[in-house]
């Protein structure tokens, strides 16, 4: 069989797992190194194995691992099996169900639980739990059962899950139309100057680090994103803020708060796991490191969720307590601020 025949056959029978288009500013870079920048939890060895097996394609042609990716190249990783996120295995994971009726349920997701399977997280997710506990959940536009919206792995808090096709359509429209209510509590670095404010700025992937999002203030890239924030409590070198989402973009609060100079406390991906405000004293450094241990994740909790019930038309609002790790961290900062007032 000649190569072109092999490629034609392969492309028909392979499943696309990852796809990226190299940005305009892309300097020539080996495809294995390029993919390392884009795929979370990927190892160089796995990528090189994929290349040896003919699973890396650029502009619809199989390439070797030393191929140099250039601006505008269409890079795909293809395998014989479907992406694992579509092979959903029911798992008997307990759910914290706040409300349930015939159309929907509201769950309180713990920090550390991934919402849906994806690269490197194929089990232990909220969807693995949902398909165990509930039959025939409707798929959303991304073929994910029950999911109307999502929150990050290390963010805790409330999510609404649709149990019927009609509920999925109705709830998804509310999120799209911005008529749902979502309020988060975040602990951020620094003393936020204004008691309240609004952050606007389109969000898109950071071209230099695909695992991060970034703000494009001109609005010619990415999607519109609007966050309204209000100071809840000032704690010296950190501030507790309430953030209400007008839009719901990936990492929206995390990126918007960093954009205005107030990165979320212990948000590793955006640099909040370093001491960004405070003193140079060893005692202070030790205090912050202890606070990081108490709260080993970004300080973000989806506290309040409101929406119109798809069957009754009644507006429902749900509230959740701060999880223990975040409550303990805030209490620790309260103590510090009280005893170290300027």
- Which residues are known to be catalytic? 152
Rounded Cα–Cα distance for residues 49 and 28 (Å): 21
Q: Is residue 222 within 8 Å of residue 275, measured between CB atoms? A: no
Those residues whose C-beta lies under 8 Å from the C-beta of residue 26, and which sit 6 or more positions away, are 34, 69, 70, 71, 72, 73
Q: What is the DSSP letter of 194?
A: S
The crossing angle, in degrees rounded to 10, of helices 282-294 and 324-339 is 160
Give the DSSP letter string of 122-141: -SS-HHHHHHHH-SSPPB-T
Spell out where 181-291 has E strands: 181-189, 196-200, 202-206, 209-216, 226-235, 238-245
Rounded Cα–Cα distance for residues 172 and 139 (Å): 12
**Alpha helices, H only, the chain:** 3-13, 31-38, 44-52, 126-133, 165-177, 252-259, 282-294, 324-339
Task: Map residue 159 onto helix, strand or coil.
Answer: strand
């Amino acid at each position: 069989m000649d190569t072109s025949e092999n490629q034609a056959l392969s492309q028909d029978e392979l499943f696309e797992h990852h796809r990226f288009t190299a940005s305009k500013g892309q300097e020539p870079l080996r495809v294995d190194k390029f993919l390392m920048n884009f795929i979370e939890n990927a190892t160089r060895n796995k990528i090189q194995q994929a290349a040896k097996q003919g699973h890396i394609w650029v502009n619809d042609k199989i390439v070797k691992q030393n191929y140099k990716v250039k601006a505008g190249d269409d890079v795909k990783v293809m395998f014989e099996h479907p992406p694992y996120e579509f092979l959903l295995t029911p798992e008997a994971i307990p759910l914290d169900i706040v409300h349930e009726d015939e159309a929907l349920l509201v769950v309180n997701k713990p920090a550390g639980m991934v919402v849906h399977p994806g690269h490197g997280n194929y089990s232990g997710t909220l969807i693995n739990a949902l398909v165990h506990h509930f039959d025939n959940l409707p798929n959303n536009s991304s073929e994910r059962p029950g999911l109307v919206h999502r929150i990050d792995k290390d963010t805790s808090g409330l999510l609404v899950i649709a149990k019927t096709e009609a509920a999925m359509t109705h709830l998804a429209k509310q999120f799209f139309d911005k008529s749902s209510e979502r309020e988060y509590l975040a602990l951020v670095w620094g003393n936020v100057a204004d008691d309240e404010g609004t952050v606007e700025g389109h969000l898109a992937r950071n071209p230099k680090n695909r695992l991060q999002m970034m703000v494009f203030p001109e609005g010619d890239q990415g999607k519109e994103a609007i966050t309204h924030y209000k100071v809840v409590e000032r704690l010296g070198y950190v501030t507790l803020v309430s953030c209400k989402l007008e839009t719901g973009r990936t990492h929206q609060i995390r990126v918007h708060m960093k954009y205005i100079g107030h990165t979320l406390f212990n948000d590793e991906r955006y640099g909040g796991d370093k001491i960004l405000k405070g003193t140079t004293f060893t005692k202070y450094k030790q205090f912050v490191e202890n606070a990081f241990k108490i709260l080993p994740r970004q300080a973000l909790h989806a506290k309040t969720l409101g929406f119109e019930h798809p069957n009754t038309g009644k507006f429902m609002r749900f509230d959740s307590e701060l999880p223990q790790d975040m409550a303990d961290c805030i209490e620790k900062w309260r103590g510090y601020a009280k005893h170290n007032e300027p």
